[in-house]
Structure 1
């Protein structure tokens, strides 16, 4: 998964206006206490970030 796909999927789930707010403010324990934005800056694998977001947003397994 590429970063562009991550942002695209997040926009589909949250909408274009809320996505950056959510990505900058929601802290994920599975990302070491980082937000999505911080995890990307720390060069964590994008797939790991997506899966953490899926858990937080309760995305059904078949849509991950």
Structure 2
């Protein structure tokens, strides 16, 4: 998983504003009490960071891994 995929999934699941807030401010016990942003910056596997964020926020498995084609943003 790349950082861009993390960002796209995060914005899809949480909305752009909350995605940014969670990445910068939500401390994740499963990542050594670091934020997602800090863990990625420290070289943590991005897929592991995404899983830890979803686990912490109780995101169902069915919403974690794919953005439906009709909901994808064009960049």
Is the structural similarity TM-score above 0.5?
yes
What is the rounded CA distance, in whole Å, between the counterparts of 1:46 and 1:4 in structure 2?
10
Report what 2:18 is aligned to.
Answer: 18
Give the strand-richer structure, 1 or 2. Answer: 2
Structure 2: which 5+ residue stretches go unaligned? Answer: 65-75
For the residues of structure 2 that align with 1:24 and 1:31, how far apart are their CA atoms?
14
Mapped partners of 2:42, 2:11: distance in 1: 21
Residue pair 2:13, 2:63 contacting (<8 A) in 1 also: no
TM-score for the superposition, normalised by structure 1: 0.89
What is the rounded CA distance, in whole Å, between the counterparts of 2:57 and 2:48 in structure 1?
14
Do the aligned residues in 1 keep the contact of 2:30 with 2:52 (CA within 8 Å)? yes
The structural deviation recorded for 1:14 is 1.2
CA RMSD of aligned residues (A): 1.1
Return the alpha-carbon distance in structure 2 between the equivalents of residues 62 and 10 of structure 1. Answer: 14
Distance (Å, rounded) in 2 between the aligned partners of 1:59 and 1:18: 14
Structure 1: which 4+ aligned runs deviate by more than 4 Å? none
Task: Using structure 2 for the length normalisation, give the TM-score.
Answer: 0.77
